[in-house]
Amino acid sequence: MVLYTPLAFEDVFPNPPDETPLMEMWVDGRLCLVRRGPDGMPRLERLLSTDPEDYWDPAYQPDTLIRF
Domain boundaries, the chain: 19-60
Residue 35, Ramachandran bin (φ over 0: left; ψ between -120 and 50: alpha; else beta): beta
Q: Which of 49, 47, 45 is nearest to 63 (CA)?
A: 45
Walk across the sheet containing 42-48 and list its strands: 23-27, 30-36, 42-48
Whether the pTM exceeds 0.75: the reply is no
What's the rounded Cα separation, in Å, for the pair 19 and 6?
29
For the chain, what percent of residues have pLDDT higher than 70? 97
Q: How far apart are CA 27 and CA 19, in angstroms?
A: 22
State mean pLDDT over 10-21: 80
What's the mean per-residue pLDDT of the chain? 89
Shortest CA distance to 24 belongs to which of 16, 32, 36?
32
- Mean pLDDT for 31-39 is 91
